[in-house]
Amino acid sequence: MVVTCQENIEVQQELAQKYREEIGRRIWTLTEKNLQLLQGILVFLAWYQTHWVLGHQLSNLMYMAMSLVTELGLDKEPSSGTRTAPGVLTEITKKQEPQPVRTNDERRCHLGVFWLNSLLRICVKDIVPMPSRPSINNSCSILEAGLESPWDTYLVQLVRIQLVASSISATLYQDLERNEAQISHTLFMATSHVERHVQDLGATLHQGSRLQAPLTMSFHMLQVYLYKIGIDERLHEPTNPTLLSSCDPSPHALRCSYLLVSCLNAVKAVIENFLLLTSPTILSMPYTYWIQMGHCINMFSRLLVTHSTLWDPNLVTGIHDFTSTLERLAVKIEGAMSEGADEGEVDRYLQEGWGELEGYGAGICWDADGA
């Protein structure tokens, strides 16, 4: 219902509030657990057309979806049960009945929760990751081979992008999250290793003209996630003196510059793909794509204020380039809103929301200029 009334933000707000109350009543009070509840949470989280901050409810709903995946057993194949699993002692005396075959709707839900969890971790907040179990790859293969829905291939490709993102997280970022972690030569080796995986994935991503732009945008978002490690301050001031050799520029400095330039190019690629979207697509673009755009703009501003002798000044984009990029985005979105207003598809609250976003962008420009 929320999706079908996207032109009326007030109705969406009212429905969203009632939905949150109903989902809490059914899960916590009535202790229900079924696929329909999980599908509802996914649509609500992934859509969220008003694009207003959910606050801590975002994490609560995400964890609720992850919990339903576990309770419904969607993260395990029917034949993968083990007699050593926790809680299995309570089932020893039960007669073992044939387990049902996993349905495609169940597989889609499982993949959807994994994709959304991974995307929120990259773009919004560091929530607990959902494990990339073998059942993820198995569901991808089954849906891709079944050709039951033209959207299945698109979902599978989005999930495979986030599977590589999980690999990047495990390879690069988990150790760096510890304060005692130090930058070493192995970081660059690991970056080169996962970079090849990203490049190989990019060669396999193809969709029809309608979906190619958002799919490509998600792929470039993956590149941003890989290369933004170059912004880490410990990379620019390593405690290990052997990383900074006497030659100028040192291999360490060249590699740092490569990461930063690659991150900048990936950010610009995300924005360029957004500018290719049609006006109707922009007006009905789900929350998940807006947060990718917001994260890229944030990374753009971070690159502008990264001060280091390892960051080649000749390769740094200027403040004017950043502001002109925001202006291009503003023109694109305002054009879409103007077309939507003529057709009665744009609510005044959406216009106010975009005005606030423009003010936020201007603030970033001011901060970057002052830095």
**pLDDT tens for residues 86-104?**
655 555 555 555 567 889 9
Tokens 């009543």 appear where? 25
3-class SS at 309?
coil
Q: What is the mean pLDDT of the chain?
A: 79
Separation in Å, CA 307 to CA 230, 237, 288, 365:
12, 11, 31, 16
Which residue in 273, 263, 366, 365 sits closest to 324, CA to CA? Answer: 365
In this prediction, residue 344 carries a pLDDT of 58
In this prediction, residue 156 carries a pLDDT of 95
* Among the ranges given (16-25, 54-63, 106-115), the one the predictor scored with the smallest mean pLDDT: 54-63
Q: What is the C-alpha to C-alpha distance for residues 216 and 205, in angstroms, rounded to an integer?
A: 8
* Among the ranges given (10-19, 57-66, 115-124, 267-276), the one the predictor scored with the smallest mean pLDDT: 10-19
Separation in Å, CA 210 to CA 29, 108, 123:
42, 21, 24
| pLDDT for 343 beyond 70 | no
Task: Give the pLDDT mean for 10-33.
Answer: 87
Pick the residue with more confidence: 83 or 15?
Answer: 15
Considering 75-89, 257-271, 321-335, 340-354, the range whose residues carry the highest mean pLDDT is 257-271
Could you tell me the two tokens for 365?
């420009």
| pLDDT for 136 beyond 80 | yes
| pLDDT for 195 beyond 60 | yes
| pLDDT for 313 beyond 70 | no
Confidence of residue 199 (pLDDT cuts 50, 70, 90): very high
Confidence of residue 261 (pLDDT cuts 50, 70, 90): confident
Residues 26 and 37: beta-carbon distance below 8 Å: yes
State what percent of residues in the chain have pLDDT above 70.
71
